[in-house]
Structure 1
């Protein structure tokens, strides 16, 4: 990555008011295609690679792989900006299928594999190419990622809650400077080291979407004009996402409150809902709920409502026990 390659965004108060978090299953699917093409660079994802590679033998992914090559640039119509905080894969795939064929053709013409047969066919009939790309992406999602999405989504939900609290508590500057070494904030300007392009200028009131990612690790891709500006950054805890159900617990804590409640308490070092915990620990929501009632009655966890969801987190006493 070139030291001098940066994207810079000047924020106004309007842009800060329009700053929001979201996450994107389609973006993760597209990024995972690069992981499959270069597994040695993404060793932490080897458990996932070993699990899904045998399943892909029957899929035709030639167009997708041509539009998502290794290197700094991909066809951006495959990763539309998230339109809501908790996106739905079907809704995002509909956005891909509805991409403007002319814009998609311009983007496809810039990929390194422009002279490969799949891309030449795409450019000959962009409307049909967009439909084919969306269909390949749907099939790929079902085979390679649908099974694993709950644990990835659980990581993202916890991260979005944590960052939203940090933004409200400490402000945009502190939050941005804590996201990743590639990302810096100074006096209203956000600077991001990139691989693909350079940019410098205002956001013009469009705001920005911040998107945590598992498969983009360790990079920080940015998208801007002609799309809604958004920044993708590696979510903390990426290295643990494939160890579903494995939560190390102190032996003394397990002896005191039981192994299952100890696992739940340790997992609540970051706030989570009952459903997030159930996915993270491979338990049923009903079982998690029963243990949460006991932990709450003992003063080991706190609860806080956010909209229709209730988030649980270690109390000060709970943190003390986990550290013992």
Structure 2
């Protein structure tokens, strides 16, 4: 059991942040059979397929089952960092720190070069996470909004009450059930950094090493539905703005897809789909990501918000759900 004690200053400095780099690390943990991988099974199947032929062993070997070196996943210093910003921190890690942390984990076979490691992470991200990031980030944003309301209306006790079964708030202290971590820690007036993470479900991960803001990574609400494909009929309003074909393509991009796949699903020609996607990409509504021989198109964060239930007033309800496609 890990016990974190809060002062008034710690409560005041408690904040939220996202971490693309941590999602990389946690997703690797899932690919290696982490607890809860059944929730992510649809994504795992696609990720394994897209990683074929890509040498990502350097990253793979740095994520053992139980302990992850801190230099690989430093707590973000900004609320919404880009992956490039976090990788700059990894590249700047002193060699002696990397060697010391790796030496403390017998399962890691060798000390990596951080520059080479950052390049491997970028390739991994482009193949299996970048196309899905707007979808994941939308889930994380919804959780932060919910928890911010809880904190505003009920204080720390309300914030932590339903965070995770492993987390309990009592007497100005936070108790976190860990299998291998125990002891009492103060937050040193830095507060607690809360990082929602899609790929940690159902566990929580914490870091309390000196030099970083104490951090708790936890699964967001609704993660069980993250990879469910929901067929969405575009609203009349979206059709009026974008046209029927482009609105249909946006609705079909619940999950990243290639031009060929979209043509087969919509009945449009591949050339027509390509022209519409080019226009949507220019408008910032879709993004393109190369995965091996294919280019996958995904909705941008702006488009994700346009197609959320709250944004589709007067629209047909979401209908038949089916598992995330292969």
* TM-score (norm. length: structure 1): 0.71
Deviation at 1:206, TM superposition (A): 1.1
List runs of 5+ in structure 2 lacking aligned partners.
234-246, 252-284, 286-297, 315-326
How well do the aligned residues superpose, as a CA RMSD in angstroms?
Answer: 3.1
Q: Which moved more, 1:32-41 or 1:156-165?
A: 32-41
* 1:298-317 per-position Cα deviation (integer Å, ceiling 9, x unaligned): xxxxxxxxxxxxxxxxxxxx
Give the Cα–Cα distance (whole angstroms) in 2 for the partners of residues 48 and 205 of structure 1: 39
Q: Is the 8 A contact 1:73 1:196 kept in 2?
A: no
Tell me which stretches of 4 or more aligned residues in structure 1 moved more than 3 Å: 244-248, 279-289, 291-295
Give the Cα–Cα distance (whole angstroms) in 2 for the partners of residues 285 and 228 of structure 1: 31
Deviation at 1:87, TM superposition (A): 2.0
Give the Cα–Cα distance (whole angstroms) in 2 for the partners of residues 12 and 28 of structure 1: 30
1:161 has 2:156 as partner: no
Deviation at 1:22, TM superposition (A): 1.0
1:75 has 2:40 as partner: no
* 1:21-44 per-position Cα deviation (integer Å, ceiling 9, x unaligned): 111111011011111111785111
Secondary structure of the 2:194 match is strand
Partner of 1:253: none
* 1:180-220 per-position Cα deviation (integer Å, ceiling 9, x unaligned): 11001111111111234223131110111001111111111
Partner of 2:199: 215
Give the Cα–Cα distance (whole angstroms) in 2 for the partners of residues 286 and 8 of structure 1: 38
1:63 has 2:58 as partner: yes
Partner of 2:23: 28
Deviation at 1:238, TM superposition (A): 0.8
Q: Is the 8 A contact 1:177 1:184 kept in 2?
A: yes
Give the Cα–Cα distance (whole angstroms) in 2 for the partners of residues 14 and 212 of structure 1: 22
Equivalent pairs counted in the alignment come to: 253
Give the Cα–Cα distance (whole angstroms) in 2 for the partners of residues 286 and 61 of structure 1: 33
Q: Which moved more, 1:135-144 or 1:55-64?
A: 55-64
Q: Is the 8 A contact 1:208 1:230 kept in 2?
A: yes
Q: Is the 8 A contact 1:15 1:205 kept in 2?
A: yes
Q: What aligned pairs does 1:164-203 form with structure 2 within 5 A after superposition?
A: 164-203=148-187
Flag the 1:177–1:246 CA change in 2: closer, same or farther, 3 A.
farther
Q: Is the 8 A contact 1:194 1:222 kept in 2?
A: no
Q: Which moved more, 1:186-195 or 1:149-158?
A: 186-195
Flag the 1:293–1:76 CA change in 2: closer, same or farther, 3 A.
closer
Give the Cα–Cα distance (whole angstroms) in 2 for the partners of residues 284 and 177 of structure 1: 33
Decide which structure has greater helix share. 1
Q: Is the 8 A contact 2:134 2:304 kept in 1?
A: no
Flag the 1:83–1:247 CA change in 2: closer, same or farther, 3 A.
farther
Secondary structure of the 2:40 match is helix
Secondary structure of the 1:201 match is strand
Deviation at 1:247, TM superposition (A): 7.1
Secondary structure of the 1:67 match is coil
Give the Cα–Cα distance (whole angstroms) in 1 for the partners of residues 14 and 301 of structure 2: 33
Flag the 1:281–1:240 CA change in 2: closer, same or farther, 3 A.
farther
Deviation at 1:97, TM superposition (A): 1.4
Q: What aligned pairs does 1:270-281 form with structure 2 within 5 A after superposition?
A: none
1:240 has 2:225 as partner: yes
Secondary structure of the 1:160 match is helix
Partner of 1:15: 10
Deviation at 1:228, TM superposition (A): 1.5
Partner of 1:319: none
